[in-house]
Amino acid sequence: MNSIYQYFRAIWYGFSSLWKGMMLTGHYLVHPKKILTEQYPENRDTLYIPERFQGEVVLPHDENNEHLCTGCTICEMNCPNGSIKIITRQVETPEGKKKKELDEWVYHLGLCTFCGQCIDACPQDAIKMSNAFEHSVYDRKLLTKVLNQPGSKLKSAKK
């Protein structure tokens, strides 16, 4: 008798548990307001990207086309996968001293893992991460960028 009871109990338990699951999916079916999908290319304007999001490394320039990078190459040394190459040049200051200056800040976006160690290490806070994330291009050559703008120079003595 007990086994017969168990048999029907199992059937009852099976049906009730299945019905519970169906109620849950049914609940979401009739509550379209709970839909979470974000339709990406259409919602570009309203897309929320936190300000700390690490998209790519940028070298900010001010209105006089000046940046803060002294070309010390600490970021290059701190980069774990060689995505930064700092090319410097020797220039002569008006006083006649020889000085090292940033020539090209080469950034290989294709190699970068966005770990943020270059930003963390930069003593001048010259570089930072931008929020851009749409990096896809048709030619991988385009992923190698020179971050300092042509004709830019080091910001004259900070006060």
Partner 1 sequence: MQLSISLLEITRAIDSWLNSAFHPHVAYGIELVLAGVAVILLVVAMAILMVYAERKLAGFMQMRLGPMRVGKWGSMQAVADVMKLLLKECLVPTNSDKLMFRVAPFVVTIVSFMTLVPIAFAKGIQLWDINIGVFYITAVSSLSVIGILMAGWSSNNKYSLLGAMRSGAQIVSYELSGGLALIVVVMMSGTLSISGIVQAQADGWWVIKGHIPVIIAFVTFIITSTAELNRAPFDLAEAESELTAGYHTEYSGMQFAMFFLSEYTNMFVLSMVAATVFLGGWMPFHLAGLDGLNHFMDYIPGIVWFFGKTFFILFLIVWFRWTFPRLRIDQLLKLEWKYLLPVSIINVLFAAFIALMGWYL
Partner 2 sequence: METKDIKHDEFVINVGPQHPSTHGVLRLELWLDGEDIIDSKPHLGYIHRGIEKMSEALGYKQFIYLTSRMDYLSAHISNQACSLAIEKGLQIEAPARAQVIRVLMAELTRLASHQLWWGALGLDLGAVSPFFYAFREREMILEIFEETCGSRLTMNYITPGGVVNDLHPDFVKKVKKLIEQLKGNLHEYYQLLTGNVILQARTRGVGKLTAEDAVSLGCTGPVARASGVKCDVRKLHPYDGYDKVEFEEVLNDKGDNFARYWLRIEEMKQSIYIIEQLIDNIPEGSYREKLKGVVKLPAGEYYQRVETARGELGVYIVSDGKKEPYRVRFRTPNFSNLNALRPMLKGAKIGDMVSMMATLDLIIPDIDR
Give the span between the Cα atoms of 57 and 107, in whole angstroms: 8
Closest to 117 in 3D by CA, of 84, 69, 146: 84
Closest to 152 in 3D by CA, of 86, 63, 58: 63
Give the span between the Cα atoms of 62 and 79, in whole angstroms: 25
Q: What is the CA radius of gyration of the chain?
A: 29
Contact status: 4 vs partner 1 (CB under 8 A): no
Opening angle at CA 154, ends 151 and 156, nearest 5: 120
Is 35 or 157 the residue whose CB approaches partner 1 more closely? 35
Contact status: 21 vs partner 1 (CB under 8 A): yes
Residue 26 binding: pick among partner 2, partner 1, none (C-beta 5-8 Å cut-off by kind): partner 1
Give the span between the Cα atoms of 134 and 60, in whole angstroms: 19
The residues of the shown chain that bind partner 2, judged by CB under 8 A, are 13-14, 17-18, 20-21, 23-25, 36, 50, 52-54, 74, 78, 80, 113-117, 120-121, 129
Is 17 or 43 the residue whose CB approaches partner 2 more closely? 17
Helix (H, G, I), strand (E, B) or coil at 1: coil
CB of 53 to partner 1, least distance (A): 24
Residue 53 binding: pick among partner 1, partner 2, none (C-beta 5-8 Å cut-off by kind): partner 2
Contact status: 28 vs partner 1 (CB under 8 A): yes
Contact status: 18 vs partner 1 (CB under 8 A): yes
The contact set with partner 1 (CB under 8 A) reads 11, 18, 21-22, 24-26, 28-29, 32, 34-37, 39
